[in-house]
Amino acid sequence: MVFNDPIHGSMELTPLLVKIIDTPQFQRLRYIKQLGAGYLVYPGASHNRFEHSIGVGSLGYAMTWDMDPFPMLLMQCSSPKATPPPGPGEKMKTWKHEDASVEMFDYLVRSNEDVQRMMKDCGLELPEGLVFIKEMIKPPAAKKKYKGRPKKSFLYEIVANKRSGIDVDKFDYFARDSYHLGIKNNFDMAAS
């Protein structure tokens, strides 16, 4: 399937990724604004997490297409999950984007047998492959070792680069947010 995006142009997605995108969990991203209430000040800033997630996936795939097909899977599943408000007498939980994304990914896979089946058909070993995907969303603490694919540790810097902070998530939101805010963006992803 081909998605046409105002930032990245035509993006061809694999059947597995389309299956994930078609889940209710991924579709809900259409209703979450990328910049929250920013559209109240910048009317063009009404873009959503759905567009951003697919854009990040496209960039990640472009960086890894000849190495490993599964980073793109992760990038398109990386999305925030709302933390419920505290009950009576409870303290507010600290919300971290990466923790919520891992929880949401677990829930998406657990709730959709078709996705699990298709992952296996595509050669992703479960649950080992899922560990790799979750470690790409939320890399282990500095002194802990990777469990997913330690021999390809450079892959962990594509989505959530803890070393330099430069990753495809930021590449997409620099371009997408600037575009929708009407702010000139001098950053060229193709040159990176």
pLDDT of 55-106, one tens digit each? 888 888 777 766 655 555 554 444 534 444 556 777 656 667 778 888 888 8
CA atoms in the 13 A half-sphere facing the CB of 35: 18
12 vs 117: CA distance, rounded Å: 22
Q: Per the domain annotation, does 47 fall within a domain?
A: yes
Supply the DSSP symbol for 144: S
| 117 within 8 A of 15, measured Cβ to Cβ | no
Report the length, in residues, of the chain. 192
Q: Per the domain annotation, does 42 fall within a domain?
A: yes
97 is catalytic: yes
The pair phi, psi for residue 173, each rounded to 5°, is -75, -25
Q: Per the domain annotation, does 67 fall within a domain?
A: yes
pLDDT at 88 (0 to 100): 73
184 Cβ contact partners less than 8 Å away, ≥ 6 residues apart: 178
8, 47, 97, 180: the catalytic one is 97
Domain total in the chain: 1
C-alpha closest to that of 129 among 149, 152, 114: 149
Any idea which of 32-36, 39-43, 141-145, 158-162 has the lowest mean pLDDT?
A: 141-145
pLDDT at 111 (0 to 100): 93
Q: Per the domain annotation, does 185 fall within a domain?
A: yes
Q: Per the domain annotation, does 107 fall within a domain?
A: yes
106 vs 68: CA distance, rounded Å: 21
**Helices and strands in the chain: count of H runs, count of E runs:** 9, 2
**Domain ranges, residue 108:** 2-80+96-191
Q: Per the domain annotation, does 155 fall within a domain?
A: yes
**CATH code, 104:** 1.10.3210.10
Q: Per the domain annotation, does 29 fall within a domain?
A: yes
Q: Per the domain annotation, does 54 fall within a domain?
A: yes
| 33 within 8 A of 39, measured Cβ to Cβ | yes
pLDDT at 52 (0 to 100): 92
Give Dmax (Cα) for the chain.
52
Query: Mean pLDDT throughout 35-42?
Result: 92
